[in-house]
Structure 1
């Protein structure tokens, strides 16, 4: 699915298309509609840069036990742990 943001909307908000995508990504992440990875991809940013942006806005990163377990499993599969 593609989303088209009209020039009228961009002018009214005084934002570029990339700024609008970033704001949408932040909002959807904050509302827990997108994961960190999904939101960073939507914003066309790498994950670390997106996390820094969230931190600069004092938006906490949602990280629960399932995320920790998944990270541990991935690290084990990579032979790091």
Structure 2
């Protein structure tokens, strides 16, 4: 599926198509509609740049207790 946004709207929003994609990816990630990896891919940014884009928008990483336990197990850390 292709999403076409006219230059008229991009000019009215004072943004570029690339920045609009980053905004959309961040929004979908924040709403938990898209995983970090998929949102990063949609944004066209690398991992560090996408993390920065999230931080710039005050969007926190979705990191739940299950992921923490998996990380602790992988690191051989017992609490």
Unaligned segments of structure 2, at least 5 residues: none
Which residue does the alignment assign to 1:29? 29
Q: Report Cα offsets for 1:11-56 as digits up to 9, x if no partner.
A: 1101111011111111111111111111111110012211122123
For 2:39, the equivalent position in structure 1 comes to: 39
Aligned to 2:10: 10
Paired residues in the alignment total 75
Q: RMSD between aligned alpha carbons?
A: 2.2
- In structure 2, distance between residues paired with 1:33 and 1:66: 18
Shift of 1:6: 1.0
| Unmatched tracts of structure 1, length 5 or more | none
Counterpart Cα distance in 1 of 2:56 and 2:4:
28
- CA drift of 1:58 comes to 2.2
**TM-score (structure 1 length as normaliser):** 0.74
TM-score, normalised by the number of residues in structure 2: 0.76
